[in-house]
């Protein structure tokens, strides 16, 4: 047992933290309203000490049923998942849960924009991969295909996210190019 800010949430924290910081910049500059969804926790036992805050004494992390982030940008609903890998050559699909893919499909069916942000830590490259190419690989996997998103595939079908001083993961610049200003 040890003290921590939030050990579970810390897995893959660098990318997530940089996205949260980018979102803060977007929020403060009036560009977009995008928030990280809190990690769901199932609370089993709570203490209510007199005159002070309730203390959760037993609780468990729950599997998130959706994705990491959502919000609004230029009238569009955005919903996405951030994934970081130390692999050089691919992101294994085991990193993505079937219910997350289902959720992302629903978002786009209702007119939203859904995508992955994938960081190859060792290469220090971060990509925005739209839902569509993810789905191609996802569905081929179910038919016995490759069980990962390869780096060359991500490079070909995704978009390298530029680093900016104020938005270290400046994914909205890609959203502009690909989804808002009519892409390709």
**Interaction mask 9-28, its own copies, x per CB under 8 A:** x-----------------x-
Note whether 97 binds its own copies by CB under 8 A.
no
Q: How many residues bind Mg ion (CB under 5 A)?
A: 2
CB 21 within 8 A of CB 168: yes
Q: Which stretch binds its own copies (CB under 8 A): 15-23, 34-42, 92-100, 175-183?
A: 34-42
CB 162 within 8 A of CB 119: no
Note whether 160 binds its own copies by CB under 8 A.
no
**Interaction mask 50-79, Mg ion, x per CB under 5 A:** ------------------x-----------
Out of Mg ion, its own copies, none, which partner does residue 82 contact, by CB within 5 to 8 A per kind?
Mg ion
| Shortest CB 81 distance to its own copies, Å | 14
H or E, element range at 11: none
**How many Å apart are CA 168 and CA 119, to the nearest integer?**
12
| Shortest CB 99 distance to its own copies, Å | 12
**How many Å apart are CA 75 and CA 73, to the nearest integer?**
5
């Amino acid at each position: 047992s040890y003290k921590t800010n939030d050990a579970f949430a810390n897995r893959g924290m660098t990318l997530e933290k940089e996205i949260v910081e980018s979102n803060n910049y977007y929020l403060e500059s009036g560009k977009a309203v995008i928030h990280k969804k809190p990690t769901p926790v199932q609370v089993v036992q709570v203490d209510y000490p007199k005159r002070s805050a309730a203390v959760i004494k037993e609780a468990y992390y729950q599997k998130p049923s959706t994705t990491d982030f959502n919000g609004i940008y230029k009238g569009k609903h955005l919903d996405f998942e951030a994934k970081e890998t130390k692999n050089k050559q691919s992101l294994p699909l085991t990193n993505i849960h079937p219910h997350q893919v289902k959720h992302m499909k629903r978002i786009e069916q209702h007119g939203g924009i859904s995508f992955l942000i994938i960081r190859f830590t060792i290469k220090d490259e971060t990509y925005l991969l739209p839902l569509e190419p993810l789905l191609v690989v996802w569905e081929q996997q179910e038919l016995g295909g490759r069980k990962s998103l390869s780096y060359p595939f991500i490079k070909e079908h995704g978009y390298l996210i530029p680093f900016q001083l104020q938005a270290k993961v400046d994914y909205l610049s890609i959203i502009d190019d690909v989804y808002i200003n009519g892409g390709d």
